[in-house]
Each structure stands twice: as C-alpha cells, then as structure tokens.
Amino acid sequence: MTPTHTMNRRPGSVSGSQAGTGLRRCLAVVTVLLVWLVGVSPVQAEVTPQRAQALLQALDTDDFEAKAEAAQAIAASDAAQKTRWLKTLLDGRLGRERDGERFYIITDDSGREWPIIDAITFEDAGTGSRRSVDTFRINNDLRTQLQRLIASLSLGAGDEATRLAAAKRLVGEVDAQSAESIATQLDNEESPAVRAELETALALYRVEQGDASGLATLRGNLDTRIRNSLADIANSDSPIAAQAGDVLAGIESKRAWYERGQTLFFGLSAGSVLVLAAIGLAITFGVMGVINMAHGELIMLGAYTTWMIQQLLPGQPGLALLLAIPGGFLVAGAFGILIERSVIRFLKGRPLETLLATFGISLILQQLVRTVFSPLNRRVNSPDWLQGAWQLNEALSLTLNRLGVLIFCLVVFAALWALMRYTRLGLEVRAVTQNRTMARSMGVRAARVDMLTFGLGAGVAGLAGVALSQITNVGPNLGQSYIVDSFLVVVFGGVGNLWGTLVAGMSLGVINQVLQPWVGAVLAKVIVLIGVILFIQKRPQGLFAPKGRTS
C-alpha cells in the first residue's frame, strides 16, 4: 500500500464507543483500498528486521484497541511477511517467546508440543509449547477487522468474488468522501453482480441524503440494512419520508412472503424427521400390531452405525455417510429380526406383555451402548455438501442438512411405498394386515412375513438414525427423544397406512413450526399433543383408515 492510505485511516481519533471506532476506521480503509486497489498490485519491499520486530512488538498488548492499531500498521507497512502475520494472528498461531524477544509462528497447533518457526525470518525454530510461547489473543471485533484487512490485502488479485464481498460491505457505509470514487469504480466495473451491489450502495447513500431518485433502485431489495435505513427515513421528517415508507411497505410485504416460505420449509423439514422416525413404526405397529418400545433404540443403532463407519473412513465423511445408508439399514434390521425371533414371536397377541418386553429391550440396548461406547455423545461429522445453507436471496435460505433430510425422507418413503405396492413381500404383508387367517390359508407363511416385516421396520428405523446423526446428538438417549413423537404420528396418521404417516408427520411438523414463534417450543408441543388427542376422540382410526372390514 502507499502512504496515502495510512493518511486516510488516521483521522478517526479514539473516542466514542470503543467497539465502534476501530470498526469504522477499518471500514474506511477497506473502502479506500477497494476503490484504489482494483488492478493495482502494490510493490512490496523488505523491511529491516528492526522494523519488523517493532511492528510485531506493537501486537504484544492486552488492549484490543491497541492491537487493532498495530494490525493496521502491519497492513499498511511494506513488510513482505505482513499477509502471513495477519493470517496467523487471525488463527491464533502468532506469538512471542515467553522470556525473550523473539516472535514465532506455530505451524501446527495440535497436540502439546508445537513445531514453530521464527516469525521474521521464517526459519525453523524447533518446538514450543504453551509454557514457552505466548500467543497473541484476538477478540471478535479484532477478528472482523483482521478479516477485512486480509481481504483488502488480497484485493490486488481482484477476483470477482472478492470484489463482490467488498462491494456488499459498502452498503450503508458510503459517505461523501467515498461516493465519488465508488461512482468511478462503477464505471469501470464489468461484473453485473458487483455493479448491482455498488449501485445499491450508492442509491442508499443518495436516499439518505434526501434524494428520491435512489428509491427506484432500492424497491424490493431484501437486504436488512436497506430496510433498517428506510425505516429510519420513513419515521423521520425527511421530505421523502412518505415515498420511503411506500418502498419500505413493498419490501416488508415481500419479506413476509419469504418468511412464510421459510416457515413452511422449517415445518416440512421438522415433519420429515418425524416421518422418518415414525415410518418404520407404521410398518411394525400397523402390520403386526406390535407396540415396539425399542423402536427409538433401533434409530440410535442406525446413528451409531454412521459414527462407526466414519471412524473406519477418517477424512471421508461424505463417503461414510453414503455407506452408512445400507449399513444402518442392515445393522438395525438385523437387531430387529433378532428381537422378533427371540422375544416378540413368543408374545403374539399379548400387547401388554409385548409393550413391557420391548421396553425392557430398549433399556438393555441403551445400557449396552453406554457400556460399549461410553455414555458420552459421539461426534458425527457432516460432509461439506450438508453444511451451510442454500441462500436463495437475502430473506430466504434453506439449510442444507435439513434439506438433505427432507429429500432423504421422501426417497425412503417412495422406496417403501413401491416395495409395498409392487413386490411379492409387499403383497404378502398387505394380505397379512388385512386378514391374517385368510392369508395363511392362501399359503402365505405368516411367521416369515412377520419376521421380515419387523426387520424391514427396524431397518427403516436405522435409516432414520443415519439421517438424525446429521442434525442431532448421537448418544445413548437419542432414541428416547423420538419414540413418543413416533407413536403420535402413527396414531394420528392411521395405523398401518404409509400415506397417513407421511401426511400426519408433515402436518404435525408444520403446525408445530407455525405455533412455535407465538407460544414457544414447550407450549407448541403441548398444543399439538392436545390437538391430536381431541382428534383421536373424534376419529379413532386416524387420518387415513384402513379400507375394508377389520377382523
């Protein structure tokens, strides 16, 4: 950078709110750098070791304001090492010798003995530990400033994403000084996305100055900074207050629609979790009439399978997750068949005893997991493609893990439905559901169908576990949180009906999410529960009753 930038940065004096000044000053730097630096690559020269020492020395303070000043001095200096210094400072890997004058960069801070290099010469300096190296600490404000400084240092590279990010930051930060240079930059800018952001920033500036011509550009813009600025203008006695209020109303109604869309997505994704958890139960409960209290623990086994496969494939969470889909199905399915063969078939037609026995099994499975894996929760990593959100616009973004679970739920549902509809097993299952005795007399081996059905239901529970490992804790208690909800969905949807489970799960999810902002999470749950109880009073067979006579 040239000294000019240093000059521009200095005027702000330390006054006013502590947090604000540093940030604003930094913004000024970024603004200026953005305007001046596009396409200009600064010539960097070596600085003397003494100068470098002094620059780093300034960081050695407990006062974050002073540290921010020191970081800005580094960014404005000619030191060739400055980008690396700022980056390691940001990562907490820049420090000084505890009883000495040297500065170190920690190249790898895992473990207790760290390899370190000299911060000025980058020469190997052996190893250090927390007892010998004091790392420089940063806080949130300083972190933000460092990120901006590093971004502006790399602006010389000037790729579109960096320019766009810088342009986005300008919205609401334009002042008389920078407005002209931004206008100049706008003329030279080719990328339409960056142009749009710069135009918005300028339009907002003009509106803030009382110029109504900028309002047209802002119409329908969902950026919250614009909404907040317009709200201030609309409430002031500015000559354009009425016009601003008009634009604001448009923005608000557009936002309201997107918010409804978002609530719907939240509801569907909450519903998809319910459907996944309940659909296995719909099969076992519906077909065999078995009240399987261990269903939650089968979900838990699916989640633990995911964790184990991830342990076997370190560094490949995506592949592990894909492999966990058949893996979770098979493990939970095998446990299901084991439970059916060893316990449930001996208790046929005795629902109360089945309930108690499966409850016992659920406790055994929980304690088994505690003993084998420890009572602590296990950490299942999400692959990159399930992290973050799909940002449709400023007001609507869909979180990818939830979206993934929603899609997975629909796929599982479709596969199960096809299985029941088009395969021999599905036909036999439906036959046994409708009339067990008649099916047996037609040559259907009901005992085998029972076993496979239970295994299928358990396997689907395992699939639910794989999905849940992406959105909640994997621990011994995982299943217990879902067992009550699962029964609720199955009973509401109609016993033994897959469509009923889908519709019931999704609608309970949406109702819950719609209620939540009004009454809170606890009361929303209570209301849903009471609603379902009342509904069942009126219609005991649930939403979708099985067709035909029941025997």
Partner 1 sequence: MQTSSDVVAGYHDNSVHWRCNNNQTRKESFVNKITSTAALLLSMGIALPAAAQEDTIKVGILHSLSGTMAISESTLKDELLMLIEQQNENGGLLGKQLEPVVMDPASDWSLYAEQARDMLTGDDQVDVIFGNWTSASRKAVLPVVEEENGLLFYPVQYEGEESSENIFYTGAAPNQQAIPAVDYLMSQGVERWALLGTDYVYPRTTNKILEAYLKDHGVADDDIMINYTPFGFSNWQSIVAEVKDFGSQGKKTAVVSTINGDANVPFYTELANQGVSAAEIPVIAFSVGEQELSGIDTGPLVGHMAAWNYFMSVDSDANYDFIDNWVEFTGNDMAVTNDPMEAHYIGFNMWLEAVRKAGTTDVDAVKDSIIGVSVPNLSGGSSAMMPNHHITKPVMIGEIQDDGQFSVVWKSAGTIAGDAWSDYLPESQNLISDWRAPLRCGKLNVDTMTCEDGAGAE
Cβ closest to partner 1, residue 139 vs residue 550: 139
- Report helix, strand or coil for 104: strand
Residue linked to tokens 């889908």? 502
Binding of residue 547 to partner 1 (CB under 8 A): no
Binding of residue 356 to partner 1 (CB under 8 A): no
Binding of residue 270 to partner 1 (CB under 8 A): yes
Binding of residue 353 to partner 1 (CB under 8 A): no
Cβ closest to partner 1, residue 23 vs residue 419: 23
Binding of residue 530 to partner 1 (CB under 8 A): no
Binding of residue 472 to partner 1 (CB under 8 A): yes
Residue span binding partner 1 (CB under 8 A) among the ranges 81-89, 192-200, 362-370, 416-424: 362-370
Give yes or no for a contact between 123 and 165, defined as CB atoms under 8 angstroms apart.
no
Rounded to 5 degrees, φ, ψ at 236 are -90, -175
In whole angstroms, how close is the CB of 438 to partner 1 at the nearest point? Answer: 40
Cβ closest to partner 1, residue 91 vs residue 173: 91
In whole angstroms, how close is the CB of 171 to partner 1 at the nearest point? Answer: 13
Binding of residue 387 to partner 1 (CB under 8 A): yes
Binding of residue 169 to partner 1 (CB under 8 A): no
Cβ closest to partner 1, residue 119 vs residue 230: 230
In whole angstroms, how close is the CB of 371 to partner 1 at the nearest point? Answer: 5
**In angstroms, rounded to a whole number, what is the distance separating the alpha carbons of residues 309 and 546?**
39
Which of 227, 225, 220, 210 has its CA nearest to residue 173? 225
Binding of residue 342 to partner 1 (CB under 8 A): no
Which tokens is 118 given?
């000299």
Binding of residue 519 to partner 1 (CB under 8 A): no
HEC sequence for 115-153: EEEECCCCCEEEEECCCCEEECCCCHHHHHHHHHHHHHH
Q: In what order do the strands lie in the sheet with 124-128?
A: 124-128, 114-118, 103-106, 94-97, 133-135
In whole angstroms, how close is the CB of 37 to partner 1 at the nearest point? Answer: 23
Cβ closest to partner 1, residue 31 vs residue 366: 366
Cβ count within 10 A of residue 483:
21
Binding of residue 19 to partner 1 (CB under 8 A): yes
Site string for partner 1, 230-269 (x = CB under 8 A): -xx-----------------------------xx--x--x
Give yes or no for a contact between 280 and 441, defined as CB atoms under 8 angstroms apart.
no
Site string for partner 1, 101-140 (x = CB under 8 A): --------xxxx-----------------xx--x--xxxx
**In angstroms, rounded to a whole number, what is the distance separating the alpha carbons of residues 390 and 387?**
9
In whole angstroms, how close is the CB of 140 to partner 1 at the nearest point? Answer: 5
Cβ closest to partner 1, residue 253 vs residue 374: 374
**In angstroms, rounded to a whole number, what is the distance separating the alpha carbons of residues 204 and 244?**
11
Give yes or no for a contact between 305 and 547, defined as CB atoms under 8 angstroms apart.
no
Binding of residue 224 to partner 1 (CB under 8 A): yes
In whole angstroms, how close is the CB of 248 to partner 1 at the nearest point? Answer: 13
User: Which one of 428, 507, 513, 544 is in contact with partner 1 (CB under 8 A)?
Assistant: 513
How many chain residues are in contact with partner 1, going by CB under 8 A? 69
Which tokens is 404 given?
């993934």
Binding of residue 517 to partner 1 (CB under 8 A): yes
Sign of the Cα torsion 431, 435, 436, 438 reads negative
User: Which one of 421, 520, 530, 550 is in contact with partner 1 (CB under 8 A)?
Assistant: 520
In whole angstroms, how close is the CB of 172 to partner 1 at the nearest point? Answer: 9
Cβ closest to partner 1, residue 185 vs residue 470: 470
Give yes or no for a contact between 476 and 366, defined as CB atoms under 8 angstroms apart.
yes
Binding of residue 352 to partner 1 (CB under 8 A): no
Binding of residue 516 to partner 1 (CB under 8 A): yes
User: Which one of 11, 13, 15, 17 is in contact with partner 1 (CB under 8 A)?
Assistant: 17
Rounded to 5 degrees, φ, ψ at 374 are 95, 155
Burial readout 154-183 (b: 16 or more C-beta within 10 A, e: otherwise): ebeeeeeebbbbbbbbbbbbbeeebeeebe
Cβ closest to partner 1, residue 17 vs residue 188: 17
> To 5 degrees, how large is the angle CA 216–CA 222–CA 224?
110
Footprint of partner 1 on 70-99 (CB under 8 A) = 91-92
Binding of residue 4 to partner 1 (CB under 8 A): no
**In angstroms, rounded to a whole number, what is the distance separating the alpha carbons of residues 414 and 502?**
10
In whole angstroms, how close is the CB of 501 to partner 1 at the nearest point? Answer: 19
Give yes or no for a contact between 269 and 244, defined as CB atoms under 8 angstroms apart.
no
- DSSP structure string for 361-382: HHHHHHHHHHHHH-SSPBPPPP
- Report helix, strand or coil for 550: coil
Give yes or no for a contact between 97 and 117, defined as CB atoms under 8 angstroms apart.
no
Binding of residue 378 to partner 1 (CB under 8 A): yes
User: Which one of 14, 319, 363, 407 is in contact with partner 1 (CB under 8 A)?
Assistant: 363
- Report helix, strand or coil for 424: helix
Binding of residue 400 to partner 1 (CB under 8 A): yes
Between helix 192-208 and helix 160-170 the angle, nearest 10°, is: 10
Cβ closest to partner 1, residue 260 vs residue 539: 260
One-letter amino acid of 349: G
Give yes or no for a contact between 141 and 18, defined as CB atoms under 8 angstroms apart.
no
Which residues lie near partner 1 (CB under 8 A)? Answer: 17-20, 64, 91-92, 109-112, 130-131, 134, 137-141, 143-144, 224-225, 227-228, 231-232, 262-263, 266, 269-270, 273, 363, 367, 370-371, 374-379, 381-382, 387-389, 391, 397, 399-402, 471-473, 475, 477, 480-481, 512-513, 516-517, 520-522, 525
